[in-house]
């Protein structure tokens, strides 16, 4: 154990890792897009989750000048679908043990701060995390490692003192490029 550095910082993706939010996100985006930009649930799950809205909304026909409008509407109605979300109890138990051992806990997500805080509030776990790195905090979203690097700098943690939990290929690439060890989470 002497050669193994203590974990100083544990970083968690939000959607698909700490929470299964696919259905809730789909329903909120479906409502925001309306009939003008139809959205299929299977397509959304396979091609849109874990990606920034600026990248996937144009793929379904939303013009650039309407991206923010659709996303803002999605943020407003997202809370209506929190009952569709499942919490990853096992990963939360691991996070709690890490926190008790002295590690700082951080969420690194492409989600908005409003959606992230709303979801954490709904599940009454907003005080568990020491830092939230949302889409507003960094210029480049996943697959860029910027969010993870931001958190490491914020806490003064070297990659070898960190651990990252991710689920998607996009997130795993970002996490791997940060230099920290990555654990892939698979929700069923």
**pLDDT tens-digit map of 125-165:** 999 999 999 999 999 999 999 999 999 999 999 999 999 99
| Long-range Cβ contacts of 126-131 (<8 Å, 24+ apart) | 128/92, 128/95, 128/96, 128/99, 129/12, 129/105, 130/104, 130/105, 130/106, 130/155, 131/104, 131/105, 131/106, 131/107, 131/155
The strand pairing partners of 87, in sequence order, are 19
Percentage of the residues of the chain whose pLDDT score is greater than 70 = 97
Q: Where are the domains of the chain?
A: 9-20+86-184, 22-83
Domain 9-20+86-184, CATH class in plain words = alpha beta
pLDDT at 86: 95
111-129: average pLDDT? 94
Q: Bigger pLDDT: 186 or 57?
A: 57
159-188: average pLDDT? 93
pLDDT at 6: 86
Indicate the length of the chain as a whole number. Answer: 188
With 60 as the cut, is the pLDDT of residue 188 above it?
no
Percentage of the residues of the chain whose pLDDT score is greater than 90 = 86
């Amino acid at each position: 154990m002497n050669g193994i550095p203590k974990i100083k910082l544990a970083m968690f993706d939000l959607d698909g890792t700490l929470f299964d939010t696919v259905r809730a996100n789909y329903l909120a985006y479906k409502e925001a897009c309306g009939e003008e930009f139809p959205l299929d649930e299977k397509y959304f799950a396979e091609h849109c989750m874990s990606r920034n809205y600026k990248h996937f909304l144009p793929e379904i026909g939303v013009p650039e000048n309407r991206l923010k409008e659709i996303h803002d509407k999605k943020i407003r109605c997202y809370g209506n679908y929190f009952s569709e979300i499942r919490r990853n109890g096992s990963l939360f138990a691991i996070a709690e043990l890490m926190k008790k051992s002295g590690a700082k806990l951080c969420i690194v997500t492409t989600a908005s701060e409003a959606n992230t805080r709303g979801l954490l509030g709904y599940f009454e776990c907003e005080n568990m995390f020491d830092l939230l790195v949302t889409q507003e905090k960094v210029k480049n979203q996943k697959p860029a490692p910027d969010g993870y690097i931001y958190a490491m700098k914020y806490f003064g943690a070297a990659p070898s003192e960190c651990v990252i939990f991710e689920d998607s290929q996009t997130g795993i690439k970002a996490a791997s490029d940060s230099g920290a060890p990555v654990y892939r989470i698979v929700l069923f």
